């Protein structure tokens, strides 16, 4: 007579399946309501939150429907709370509507992963300033390099499956490699010149992207001189003038007097104008006089001379 089979203990199997189910559940991203006060701006975030038309529309949308797309955050690596990876504008719109919490997805991300997600979630927006784009491209390229992508290959290495990081980025954003590098050059401009390129300076002046790229090769000291004459002379350097300044700078032949001479040259689209070399008139003025002050003094003297001449002719 055969012996009955022993009973199998299935508790361990139940535990196994239960644990696997729990693991799968844990992998699912959950939306959490987090206090807006515990959400911090991404370090060196290149995209400014501006009160423009797009933001006004977003504020109205949040007021009517709430925040429809959760922000992506990660536990702050710099202290308490969470660092916003994607959702800075949603946080701002929520605060403007008096909301105290924001729906968020919390992810454990490395610095490189967080940077790439942050850039990708913003770079396709319609209204992005040129220097914002430059800083974003630079941050993403640096993150890609730190992730271990090969970036030392040249275009002559035909047939390789590996690509330069800037080639990969160019394909992702629909720009040429050259244009990517042009935008990144803007990050080497001092803040006043960046504001001129972005068209957000207080005086309303605008500097072309091409001029900004060329001026980015100047030292900070020389860039500050250019800003000084933009303000004092109320003129912007042309693309050709910016190129000349860059080339002279590389030859260590660019100084304040040369910058002044270049920027006061007559441009093709300007009316005829009279200009002086700085060394010709500096001897007549205190050292701290700006070109604008010198110009005002010269015009005042000329007006006085003109009145005196008119009186002499009437006699």
pLDDT tens sequence across 232-258: 999 999 999 999 999 999 999 999 999
How many helices, marked H, and strands, marked E, lie in the chain? 14, 5
Buried b (16+ CB within 10 A) or exposed e, 54-76: ebeebbeebeeeebeebbbbbee
pLDDT tens sequence across 162-173: 578 889 999 999
- DSSP code of 265? S
Rounded Cα distance, 47 and 119, in Å: 9
pLDDT confidence band for 158 (50 / 70 / 90): very low
pLDDT confidence band for 22 (50 / 70 / 90): low
Q: What are the DSSP E strand ranges found in the chain? A: 31-35, 39-40, 71-75, 82-86, 101-106
Residue 150 has pLDDT above 50, yes or no: no
- Residues 31, 105 contacting (CB under 8 angstroms): yes
Is the sign of the CA dihedral 129, 135, 139, 140 positive or negative? positive
Q: Classify residue 164 as left (phi > 0), alpha (psi -120 to 50) or beta.
A: beta
Return the half-sphere exposure (C-beta side, CA atoms, 13 A cut-off) of residue 312: 6
Rounded Cα distance, 190 and 217, in Å: 11
The pLDDT value recorded for residue 29 is 81
Domain boundaries of the chain, sorted by first residue: 27-110
Is the sign of the CA dihedral 186, 189, 193, 195 positive or negative? positive
Residue 284 has pLDDT above 70, yes or no: yes
pLDDT confidence band for 9 (50 / 70 / 90): low
The pLDDT value recorded for residue 194 is 98
The pLDDT value recorded for residue 47 is 94
> Which CATH architecture describes the domain 27-110?
Alpha-Beta Complex (3.90)
């Amino acid at each position: 007579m055969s012996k009955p089979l022993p009973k199998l203990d299935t508790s361990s199997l139940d535990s196994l399946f239960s644990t696997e189910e729990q693991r799968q559940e844990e992998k699912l991203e959950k939306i959490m309501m987090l206090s807006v006060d515990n959400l911090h701006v991404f370090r060196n975030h290149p995209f400014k939150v501006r009160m423009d038309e797009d933001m006004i529309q977003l504020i109205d949308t949040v007021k009517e429907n709430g925040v429809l797309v959760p922000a992506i955050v990660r536990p702050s690596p710099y202290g308490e709370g969470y660092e916003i990876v994607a959702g800075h504008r949603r946080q701002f719109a929520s605060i403007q509507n008096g909301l105290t919490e924001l729906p968020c997805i919390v992810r454990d991300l490395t610095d490189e992963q967080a940077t790439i997600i942050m850039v990708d979630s913003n770079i396709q927006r319609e209204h992005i300033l040129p220097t914002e784009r430059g800083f974003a491209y630079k941050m993403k390229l640096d993150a890609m390099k730190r992730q271990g992508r090969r970036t030392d290959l040249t275009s002559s290495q035909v047939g390789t499956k590996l690509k330069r990081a800037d080639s990969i980025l160019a394909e992702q954003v629909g720009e040429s490699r050259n244009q990517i590098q042009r935008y990144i050059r803007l990050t080497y401009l001092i803040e006043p010149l960046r504001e001129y390129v972005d068209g957000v300076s207080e005086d309303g002046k605008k500097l072309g992207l091409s001029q900004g790229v060329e001026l980015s090769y100047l030292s900070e000291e020389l860039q500050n001189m250019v800003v000084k004459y933009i303000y004092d002379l109320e003129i912007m350097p042309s693309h050709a003038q910016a190129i000349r300044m860059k080339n002279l700078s590389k030859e260590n032949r660019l100084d304040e007097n040369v910058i002044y001479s270049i920027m006061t040259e007559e441009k093709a689209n300007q009316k005829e104008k009279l200009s002086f070399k700085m060394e010709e008139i500096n001897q007549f003025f205190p050292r701290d006089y700006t070109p604008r002050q010198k110009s005002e003094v010269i015009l005042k003297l000329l007006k006085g001379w003109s009145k005196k001449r008119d009186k002499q002719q009437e006699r």
